[in-house]
Amino acid sequence: MIFSCLITGVGGQGTVLMSRLIGAAALSRGLDVRGSETIGMAQRGGSVVSHIRLGQNIQSPLIPKGKADLIIAFEPAEAVRVYTFLSPTGRILVLDRGIMPVAGMLGKKKYEPAEMLAFLKAFASHPSEERLAQKGDGDWLTVIDSVELIKKCGSTRVLNTALLGAAAGKKYFPFPAEDLLAAIKERIPPEYLEANIRAFDAGRALG
């Protein structure tokens, strides 16, 4: 069995760190880990996508379209950009806080995050036959309230660990939330550790 998670956002939001924490938690469980990132535009506020695959006998670090078990999106438009990677029984967790894409800035186009969320909700209203056969089908799309989450975290700088906590709270990973918390304690520098643990716990409670 292979669990495939796709993480998407824009440069500076901490998508790569999130993938590293997931990988560390998986390794602690004895799982193989393969991953890849597209980070060429990361420092310019462009799209960043991290592929991470966990399990045994993984042939490729890249997730094929239609095979992602979980998509974690830091931004609504980025979620729409990659939704075709979702498997028929996969899940999406998306933060409702919009960030104007670089293409929109250059073209001076209006960007409405609500339109992106409406698209995802419309997509959710037409579940696949595989999803209909599952229990708890309505849980495939989770939209996280950014205002509430930031209030609980106290900073936008730890939204990555907060979203990780939300996914862990929903039990979306093939290992318990405690494994992710252990990875945070191991990999986050001491001066930032308390804030990240608080954010993880806040996201976990919200999720």
For 42, list phi and psi in degrees, rounded to 5.
-60, -40
Query: What is the separation of C-alpha 87 from the centre of its chain, rounded to a whole number of angstroms?
Result: 15
Domain 2-102+110-120+138-206 has CATH 3.40.920.10: yes
Q: What pLDDT is attached to residue 42?
A: 47
Q: How far apart are CA 29 and CA 25, in angstroms?
A: 7
For 89, list phi and psi in degrees, rounded to 5.
-120, 15
Q: How far apart are CA 120 and CA 81, in angstroms?
A: 11
Identify the band that residue 77 occupies on the pLDDT scale cut at 50, 70 and 90.
very high
Q: How far apart are CA 86 and CA 104, in angstroms?
A: 25
Q: What pLDDT is attached to residue 136?
A: 52
Of 4-8, 21-25, 135-139, give the lowest mean pLDDT range: 135-139
Q: What pLDDT is attached to residue 109?
A: 67
In terms of Cβ atoms closer than 10 Å to its own Cβ (0-12, 13-18, 19+), residue 122 is exposed
**Strand, helix or coil at 157?**
helix
Q: What pLDDT is attached to residue 44?
A: 54
For the chain, what are the domain ranges? 2-102+110-120+138-206
Judge contact between 9 and 48, C-beta under 8 A: yes
Q: How far apart are CA 26 and CA 37, in angstroms?
A: 18
Q: What pLDDT is attached to residue 166?
A: 96
Is residue 104 over pLDDT 60? no
Q: What pLDDT is attached to residue 134?
A: 64
Identify the band that residue 13 occupies on the pLDDT scale cut at 50, 70 and 90.
confident
Q: How far apart are CA 61 and CA 58, in angstroms?
A: 7
